[in-house]
Amino acid sequence: MYRFHISVFTGLIILWITWSCSSINGYYDGESLFELPEKELSFDFYYYSADTVVIYVPVDIIASNEDLLAQTVHFEVINDDRNVVINKSGTEDFAAQFYTDSIALKICVSSLEMGILYTLKITLTDESSLRISKNYSSSKISLIRHDFIRSFVGEYYCYEPENQIQYTTTFSYKNDSVIANENFWDFTRYGEVVLYKLDRKSSKVEILADNEWMDFKGLSYKVNGSGTYNTNGDFELQYSIKDINNDSIVELGRHYFTKKKTNP
């Protein structure tokens, strides 16, 4: 059997570490440097978002301890679509304090047309106090502002106070006023799809009257309910489930839906 010499093995490890640092940072020869670790970033804004929102672009500082404090990174924001109003363009700087820090950009959300994808590019420049990574010097930033109904689409936590349980569900888009809960009844075989209608003017939400299903035992049910939504994308409802076969209410309860938050 061929014996792999330990010195060769050690040499390969050293070579791999050297190559890894080089491939990740573009160049790293003991010099401290800045890099943007995320090549692409996306930020979702909603119908109910504030007029102005701050987004954060992560910056990594690869440095010795003495080089960490109060370093300054310079960057440029390339904004080809002038409809995107931001508070920083051209070259700005900030004081990096940790191994991972961030650049704050203030986005005027009200300047974004709903349903349109906007892009920015942020690039670190050589005026920074530390060297810039060659391969990780820029990030593409995508911005989109969702319309009313799509602001309630996505993953939610559903909390049932009567049963003291919480589980995850997903709401999908059906039309401009209706969303579908893909997992209304968490303990059935597949969950159940239930339709909800949201009133843009009154902050009311209701379960549509034609929501019926059959469980794996062959029993048929009908669900009704109503409640309200808030400006965070969350909503709550009182609901009832009727056994159609026996014309009897089998469950009364409340659902609190809390949206899983995304950046920002």
pLDDT tens-digit profile of 119-166? 999 999 888 888 898 889 999 999 999 999 999 999 999 999 988 899
Q: Which residues pair with 212 in a beta bridge?
A: 222
State the pairing for strand pair 194-198/178-181: antiparallel
**How many other C-beta atoms are found inside a 10 Å radius of the C-beta of residue 25?**
21
What's the pLDDT tens digit per position in 185-220? 755 555 678 999 999 989 999 999 877 877 777 788
The model's pLDDT over 89-130, given as tens digits with 9 standing for 90+, comes to 556 677 777 788 888 888 989 889 999 999 999 999 888 888
Relative to beta strand 154-160, strand 165-175 is antiparallel
Give the single-character DSSP code of 11: H
Average pLDDT of the chain to the nearest whole number: 81
| Token duo for residue 166 | 């919480």
Q: For residue range 252-264, what is the model confidence (pLDDT) as tens digits?
A: 999 999 998 766 6
Tens digits of per-residue pLDDT, 22-54? 434 444 556 778 899 999 999 999 988 888 999
Q: Which domains does the chain have, with CATH numbers?
A: 26-145 (2.60.40.2030), 149-259 (2.40.128)
Strand 248-259, strand 235-243: pairing: antiparallel
Distance CA 159, CA 137 (A): 43
